Structure 1
């Protein structure tokens, strides 16, 4: 399978695409455009951005083309062994899951506009991009040659975005043999020394915790806008991040660190430690699952925690971050009717919209609080001998590395194995029901010398208690240092 992509008129924001389908042995074939994209569990109907489409032979003769569904077409091949699909896609949106082209930038999420042929989704794909001569490109796909990329199958193509421009900035670093690339597009002058130091620290901490990294390279692809924005999406061996405004202030840098650490941990948690309902992806419809509180909640919890463990945040900065998602949960949805499993399932319905009052909870914010309750409980009953780290490593070794997918009950079983006891109270109170979290959360926070208070007007405050024994446990929780190599210890000293 092959894609040829040109942009004859950048101001129109139109991609001209030719999808070549070889080795056809059927009287008709069906081609499918995805209705959603990995990392965003909602139907997005990308077909609405297709302006024009036709099927042709390699000699240019038009073939009958019929629409079967809103994003599926049937081609009558008339005995042809190779068919070309010619069409135009409008690419004019800049967020972490969209596509955009103009004179200065090509930003492509292939899942927005690339199709696959029914029955042949596992075949290799190549993509030829007719970029301006001075453009450099950032992408996790394998490079075949000048502006030509290769994907093992459509799933890989759909999960590797691309950013290309003449002003793309790039730096890199290596941790335990893994090559990391940081790409920046926007009107800013990055403090590369600081960025490389901090990114190396949290990457090192994550890999040391999980004991290995799934790939041999990884790309942080950043589009920095002049307007306020915050959006990141995880991908196979990269993340696409859109941030703004480009004022180069501490707020922007804090956002960059937070979303980057979060998205990197997704490389294990959901890209490979994936709910079984998402294996393989069915791009034609909703893929319902109940465990997004694991995929997003645990990742939200770990994103900031790794920044503390790596020494990028101090205790005060980390506690401020905890207070942020406590406030977002308790001030917005603490009395919502749905449980975490129900809100995970209903992401496909309205999970990314505000929705009606007191209906759903955030799998990110409540999910992170539930993860923290579990982590602190495991630490409390084992005196820090076991923790949520052990749960994630077991999920990786049993389900992520063999890539077989886990169920809700698989997660229950692994957690209880680590705990060495039944945790029915936790499942019923924190995961499977809409029972408020305040009491259990404060019970666990007290173990590490913290206390959350909610005022009569609903404001949330996280306070540090003056408790020497609790401080020792807090240090164990927040200052855990993984085993570093001699080279890594030297790097830390130099940093």
Structure 2
């Protein structure tokens, strides 16, 4: 009897392991952003089956409460009989079972969150990230899945997943692959190309001022650069999805694709185009950094809870750092354009008082709860720009101490080699790689630059690669209250008050409305109103707070009408220029101009 039961359990387990979870989505009322979802789960003998919709989606470290779009939930057994169910938390439906049975789920989804890149349906397309549409059960999370779409005949469906017998159906090895393989279906244009034996697709939804030929030309260059850092490619086919739209912007990485959203009229100028192609480079790098290897706090993904980790600055910031390198090496952007971009990052960092307060470790861990706005700027950093600058500091340190033979690229090559998914890496793992590469203990460097707010000496750092931060010729000293204001009609409203600056010390804060300086009405431009003053002058500020007129006095500080700019050092040595080439893969600007 025991042997019979054991065989029965084994057979049931085997059936579960190899059975598919089948999803279908019918776009029923696209003009109202509605779709109907059906899910067929394999037979199970559990007393209940918990089915969940993710509370967040990969690539965005924020609880999105995606279950708020679900209505008309129903559960039936394999014979079509209704099953009792109850909601047990924000994202979980518990289906009660009286006997072994397949479980079939039906529900409606409201999909009108384009900017979150989780779900969107309208009369021209649907963007389908599984986290916003398709429920899962931990019991069948590793089972193969299929997705079938019922969409208008004129629509085209594209995904990084393989087709499953028809142009509107797809298959994946398991739910984790499905949730990381979005589908773009609708009225779109599709371009296919091949580079180094790998297949690529560019699918664009929406009309805009983009140049498809330029996009394809640069994407072909971009995808050759993986070998600059890593030993191989983790895919055979990759899809670039682009939304030329309005009211949404941003991008998200996936294991076999990316989705990039930009305003439809923000592709044409060189500045706008570089913003687009650098985003493509960022997401392309994520194919390795985050998707092929990632910090242990994200392994495996817990789709219904926050996934805390202290290394998000590597996951995101290092990706931001490398994107400009790959574009320069590919010949997509020039060295001057790279220096302009890096200048903006450095100046933004220097203008952020939060850099003196929050470390990369802290901002990584707190990414899930970080606030925005003025408080964040004064007391916080972010994993993207801060992580990029720390990555740069580490990279130049490695290059300098090895005379160009070792770099931060070697660290990521080792992470990819040693910690491929499903393994994750820890802080100690990164330190161990650094010691293995260099023979030096980086614990003190880590304590000073990662676990504590980084105090980067940019002058010393850039000098090593033959660069310097200088004030542009003709820059003039100007008086400043150390605050930013925007025109809100008749008055200027403070939007940022720099911590410990002149306005801060005088008691001014965000949302105060500036009326007058020394009893003279302030116009639409705060800078223009301060032109007649100089640093050190004491002035009286009349302002409105809570609808009441108030007055304070402050002493003006010195600022400049032009920020410092990163340029080639005129007297750069041969060693410094050689280190620049080892760093960027191209000649130092002084040599390139000869």
**What is the TM-score when the length of structure 2 is the normalising length?**
0.76
Structure 2 Cα separation of the partners of residues 199 and 77 of structure 1? 51
1:444 aligns to what? Answer: 461
Matching of residue 266 in structure 1 with residue 286 in structure 2: yes
Give the secondary structure class of the aligned counterpart of 2:112: coil
- Deviations 1:198-257 (CA, angstroms, capped at 9, x unpaired): 112121122343121001111111111145x53111111111111113354124321221
CA contact (8 A) 1:96 1:241 kept: no
Give the unaligned 5+ runs of structure 1: 482-495
2:98 aligns to what? Answer: 78
Matches within 5 A, 1:182-193: 182-188=202-208, 190-193=210-213
> Which stretch of the first structure deviates more once superposed, 30-39 or 353-362?
353-362
**Structure 1 residue 272, shift from structure 2 partner:** 1.5
Matching of residue 457 in structure 1 with residue 559 in structure 2: yes
1:485 aligns to what? Answer: none
**Structure 1 residue 79, shift from structure 2 partner:** 2.4
Give the unaligned 5+ runs of structure 2: 1-20, 472-476, 478-557, 588-594
CA contact (8 A) 1:243 1:252 kept: no
Give the secondary structure class of the aligned counterpart of 1:214: coil
> Structure 1 residues 118, 194: CA separation in 2 closer, same or farther (over 3 Å shift)?
closer
> Structure 1 residues 70, 334: CA separation in 2 closer, same or farther (over 3 Å shift)?
closer
Matching of residue 468 in structure 1 with residue 485 in structure 2: no
Task: Say which of 430, 443, 461 aligns to 1:411.
Answer: 430
Matches within 5 A, 1:41-120: 41-79=61-99, 81-95=101-115, 97-120=117-140
1:170 aligns to what? Answer: 190
Which structure has the larger Rg?
2
Which has the bigger relative contact order, CA under 8 A and spacing at least 6?
1
Aligned length: 476
Structure 1 Cα separation of the partners of residues 50 and 566 of structure 2? 60
> Structure 1 residues 382, 297: CA separation in 2 closer, same or farther (over 3 Å shift)?
same
Task: Say which of 157, 160, 177 aligns to 2:181.
Answer: 160
1:490 aligns to what? Answer: none
Matching of residue 479 in structure 1 with residue 585 in structure 2: yes
What is the Cα-based RMSD across aligned positions, in Å?
Answer: 2.1
Structure 2 Cα separation of the partners of residues 333 and 131 of structure 1? 51
CA contact (8 A) 1:49 1:90 kept: yes
- Deviations 1:432-485 (CA, angstroms, capped at 9, x unpaired): 101432x2x32221111222369953874233221232334323322359xxxx
Task: Say which of 239, 242, 245 aligns to 2:258.
Answer: 239
Relative to its length, the structure with more strand (as a share) is: 2
CA contact (8 A) 1:186 1:246 kept: no
**Structure 1 residue 80, shift from structure 2 partner:** 5.4
Matching of residue 11 in structure 1 with residue 31 in structure 2: yes
Matching of residue 144 in structure 1 with residue 164 in structure 2: yes
Matches within 5 A, 1:271-350: 271-350=291-370
**What is the TM-score when the length of structure 1 is the normalising length?**
0.91
- Deviations 1:401-437 (CA, angstroms, capped at 9, x unpaired): x641110111112123223322344212211101432
Matching of residue 124 in structure 1 with residue 140 in structure 2: no
**Structure 1 residue 51, shift from structure 2 partner:** 2.4
Structure 1 Cα separation of the partners of residues 294 and 101 of structure 2? 37
